[in-house]
Amino acid sequence: MDTPPYEAYGVTAGITFTFGGLKTTKDAQVLDSENKDISGLFACGEMLGGLFYYNYPGGSGLSAGMVFGRLAGTSAAHDAANKS
pLDDT tens-digit series, residues 68-78: 899 999 999 99
pLDDT at 16 over 70: no
pLDDT at 5 over 80: yes
pLDDT at 57 over 80: no
pLDDT given for residue 40 in this prediction: 93
Helix, strand, or coil (residue 73)? helix
pLDDT given for residue 56 in this prediction: 72
**Confidence at 81, pLDDT banded by 50, 70, 90:** very high
Give CA–CA dist 60/4, Å, rounded.
Answer: 45
pLDDT tens-digit series, residues 24-41: 998 999 999 999 999 999
CB 25 within 8 A of CB 41: no
Helix, strand, or coil (residue 68)? helix
Helix, strand, or coil (residue 75)? helix
pLDDT at 17 over 70: no
